Amino acid sequence: MSELSEDDRAAVSELRGAVMRLSRRLRHQRVDESLSPTEMAVLATLARCGSATPGELARKEHVQPPSMTRIVAMLEAKGLVHREPHPEDRRQVVVSRTEQADAMLAESRVKRNAWLAQLAEGLTDEERAVLREAAPVLEKLAHL
52: left (phi over 0), alpha (psi -120 to 50) or beta: beta
Backbone angles phi, psi at 50, to 5 degrees: 90, -175
> What pLDDT, in 10s, does the model give residues 97-128?
999 999 999 999 999 999 999 999 999 999 99
Q: What is the average pLDDT across 19-38?
A: 87
Of 36, 48, 22, the closest CA to residue 115 belongs to 22
Residue type, 76: E
CA dist 141 → 15, 110, 135 (Å): 11, 24, 10
3-state class (DSSP) for residue 10: helix
> What pLDDT, in 10s, does the model give residues 62-83?
999 999 999 999 999 999 999 9
Q: Is the pTM of this model over 0.85?
A: no
Residue 1 has pLDDT above 80, yes or no: no
User: Going by C-beta distance under 8 Å and a sequence separation of 6 or more, which residues neighbour residue 94?
Assistant: 51, 52, 53, 83, 84, 85, 86, 87
Domain ranges of the chain: 6-142
Are 92 and 72 within 8 A, CB to CB?
no
CATH annotation of 6-142? 1.10.10.10
Tallying the residues shown for the chain, one arrives at 144
pLDDT of residue 72: 97
3-state class (DSSP) for residue 85: strand
User: Going by C-beta distance under 8 Å and a sequence separation of 6 or more, which residues neighbour residue 111?
Assistant: 29, 30, 31
pLDDT of residue 2: 65
Residue type, 69: T
